[in-house]
Amino acid sequence: MAEEKSQASSSKMLTLKASDGVLFEVELNIAKEMKTVQAYIDDCEDIETIPIPNVLGKHLAIVIEYIKKTNEEYDAEFEKQWNMDDLQLLLLAANYLNISGLQECLCKAIAKRIENKSPEYVRKVFNIENDHSPEEEAKLRKEYKWAFEGVDKD
């Protein structure tokens, strides 16, 4: 009897609804990896459909797949498939859904992609304005001239 019960709870399905209305049926143990979802379930036990207002269907699909497949090998290859915009959106999703392993994996991936890039390139990636005065910037560039050696051309 106890066995049946545990089997039933592990195969219990939940529906997650992405921001663009796309629905995903996931097993409870997969959904629980998203601590935000876990908190939702803890608050409202009988819920069947959980709204995920900040994440598009396409990214939620990737996140769910990550949770199912994550291991050292998978993680190493995972980030290679996505462009920089998707990586950032996935990071926002992982942060909102509170999935620490995925969040770290994505931070490392983004860091790897900007590691050898110029400040101009990185500004564009994160959509950040330069508020250094021309004199300040020139002074910094001179001081850290050695750090600019070998940087990828934009």
Partner 1 sequence: MLREFIPDELITEVLSFLPVKSLMRLKCLNKSWKTLISDPAFIKLHLKRSARNKHLALFSRIQQTSYNFRVAPFRLHCLLENTSGTITVPYFPINKDRVSLNVVGSCNGLFCLVGYYHTPTYINYKKILFYLWNPATRTLSNKIKFYCENCFKWRVAFGYDNSTETYKIVVFNPESYEVSVFNFGGNNIWKNIQSFPVVLLPLDRVLASHGYRDVYAHVNDSLNWLVIREESQFVIISLDLSSETYRQLLPPQGFDKVSLVLPTLAMLMDSLCFCHDFNGTNFIIWQMKEFGVQESWIQFLKISYQDLPIVYNVCSRLPLFPLCLSENGDTLVLAWDRGKQAILYNTAEKTGYTDNCKWYGSKEYVESLVSTC
Q: Which stretch binds partner 1 (CB under 8 A): 24-32, 37-45, 60-68, 137-145?
A: 137-145
| 58 belongs to the binding site for partner 1 (CB under 8 A) | no
HEC profile of the chain: CHHHHHHHHHCCEEEEECCCCCEEEEEHHHHCCCHHHHHHHHHCCCCCEEECCCCCHHHHHHHHHHHHHCCHHHHHHHHHHCCHHHHHHHHHHHHHHCCHHHHHHHHHHHHHHHCCCCHHHHHHHHCCCCCCCHHHHHHHHHHCHHHHCCCCCC
- Shortest approach of partner 1 to residue 145 CB, angstroms? 10
Q: Which stretch binds partner 1 (CB under 8 A): 9-17, 22-30, 37-45, 145-153?
A: 145-153
Q: How far is the CB of 34 from partner 1 (least distance, A)?
A: 17
Does 11 bind partner 1 (CB under 8 A)? Our answer is no
Q: What distance lies between CA 15 and its chain's CA centroid?
A: 20
Binding to partner 1 by CB under 8 A, coded x per residue (else -) over 62-101, reads ----------------------xx--xx-xx--x------
Beta carbon of residue 16, minimum distance to partner 1 (angstroms, whole number) = 20
- Tell me the two tokens of residue 44: 């409202």
Q: Tokens standing for 41?
A: 């379930």
Piece of the chain touching partner 1 by CB under 8 A; list 13-21, 32-40, 69-77, 128-136: 128-136
> What residue ranges bind partner 1 (CB under 8 A)?
84-85, 88-89, 91-92, 95, 103-104, 107-108, 110-112, 114-116, 118-119, 122-132, 137, 140-141, 144, 146-148, 151
